[in-house]
Amino acid sequence: MANVANNMQLRESGMVNEQRPLMEIEEMISIDIDARRQRAEQYNLRAATIEDLEAAFELFDTCSNHMIGKSETTLSNVRNEWTSPGFDLDNSVRMVETPDGKIVGYVEVWDVDDPPVSIWVWGRVRPDFEDQGIGSKLMHWAETRSRLALSRAPEDARVIMRSGTFSHYDPARELLSGFDMNLIRHFFTMAIDLKEEPITPSWPAGIHVRAMRGEEEMRSIVHAVRDAFKDHWGYVETPFEQEYDQWLHFIRNDEKYDPSLWFLAMDGEEIAGISLCKLESDEDPELGWVNVLGVRRPWRRKGLGLALLQHSFSKLWHRGKRGAGLGVDASSLTGAMGLYEKAGLHRIRQFDLYEKELRPGRDLTRQSI
């Protein structure tokens, strides 16, 4: 899951006058068609509204099936993101459409986190409309939009814009590289076959596991997630209430949320580790999914991560799943790759992360432990 300033924040920060670069970009609200089409059509660049949801999802689904042969998200997920706390759909999304209203390009900018020092840009261009300058125009708009966050970041902080693509998809890699973005890291999607009942886990002394009891435990869970993930590369500490509100929004609107698959490793009344699972991954209903796996510092190097994984696989197997998957940083600071390979997971796809520095300064993101 994916991590924008709302109109009030923009006004309060005095950024209204800084909208001019955006307006200059949007004055070019047409993208000339490649001369090879030998037609004088123009494409319009415009903001998105919630009424565009299904058309946008159709574009995402078309692109995903072209790139990896399957869907990578759901209509419900897109709605959840578009309506998430702080995300300003009107000012953070732009779509490219043909004169007859067909959506052929899309980009979104996520600078909702406070401080906004690591800005995420995600976009898609319909496959049969690639190589016409649409992606470049969208990326130019996205950078201009991203730079609006500079005045909200600490004055001495380094601010970066990040984006990424499946490693095998050359058109996107060429677009990002051509936009002066540097390849900085790799991530893997991993999976395991569960044809036979998984191994029974061996729990560290004093640890017992149970499922989440309900929304009343969300504060404790968010605290545990923040504590476990503060050692992950790229982590930026944000206000607790902001992150808590985001978690509440997503579980209340996620059709696949199932608290019986949110596993808490308990040491007495304290959460030592978590494995937050879904019965179905977004791209394959036959594949169970470990969405979040984390162990807090005092309980690491004791086999708890492996036990949580094995417990999750067992519960998914008993619910009828014959495979499970997860995502991982290939250079994980906590050694997650080794753990997952030990648990029997194998790599099935690689995602490459790119970065462009918008302002040099003190790096507030986690780089080492």
Domains 7-153 and 190-350 share a fold: yes
How many Å separate Cα 204 from the centre of its chain? 32
pLDDT reading at 36 higher than 50: no
Fold for domain 190-350? Answer: Aminopeptidase (3.40.630)
Query: Residue 217 has which token pair?
Result: 């435990």
Q: Kindly report, residue by residue over 166-224, the tens digit of the pLDDT.
A: 999 999 999 999 999 999 999 999 999 999 999 999 999 999 999 999 999 999 999 99
Q: Average pLDDT of 294-321?
A: 97
Range of weakest confidence among 40-49, 161-170, 359-368:
40-49
pLDDT band at 368 (very low <50, low <70, confident <90, very high): confident
Instruction: Compute the distance between CA of residue 155 and CA of residue 341 in angstroms, rounded to an integer.
Output: 42
pLDDT band at 27 (very low <50, low <70, confident <90, very high): low
pLDDT reading at 93 higher than 70: yes
Residues, the chain: 369
Instruction: Compute the distance between CA of residue 360 and CA of residue 331 in angstroms, rounded to an integer.
Output: 24
Which pLDDT value is given to residue 12?
A: 30
Residue ranges per domain, the chain?
7-153, 190-350
Which pLDDT value is given to residue 35?
A: 46
pLDDT reading at 268 higher than 60: yes
Instruction: Compute the distance between CA of residue 139 and CA of residue 131 in angstroms, rounded to an integer.
Output: 14
How many Å separate Cα 217 from the centre of its chain? 24
Helix (H) / strand (E) containing 73:
none
Which pLDDT value is given to residue 6?
A: 33
Q: In terms of CATH, what superfamily is 7-153?
A: Gcn5-related N-acetyltransferase (GNAT) (3.40.630.30)
pLDDT reading at 275 higher than 70: yes
pLDDT reading at 9 higher than 50: no
Which pLDDT value is given to residue 21?
A: 56
Q: Report the relative pairing of strands 288-295 and 323-329 from DSSP bridges.
A: parallel
Percent of the chain whose predicted confidence (pLDDT) is above 70:
89
pLDDT reading at 87 higher than 80: yes
Q: Locate tokens 């997630």: which residue? A: 225
Which pLDDT value is given to residue 244?
A: 97
Query: Residue 330 has which token pair?
Result: 């290939």
Q: Average pLDDT of 140-162?
A: 97
Which pLDDT value is given to residue 26?
A: 57
Q: Kindly report, residue by residue over 40-58, the tens digit of the pLDDT.
A: 258 999 999 999 999 999 9
**Mean model confidence pLDDT for the chain:** 90
pLDDT reading at 23 higher than 80: no
Which pLDDT value is given to residue 29?
A: 42
Which pLDDT value is given to residue 10?
A: 28
pLDDT band at 369 (very low <50, low <70, confident <90, very high): confident
How far is CA 321 from each of CA 163, 194, 205, 213, rounded to the nearest angstrom? 32, 7, 29, 23
pLDDT reading at 33 higher than 90: no
DSSP 8-class letter at 47: E
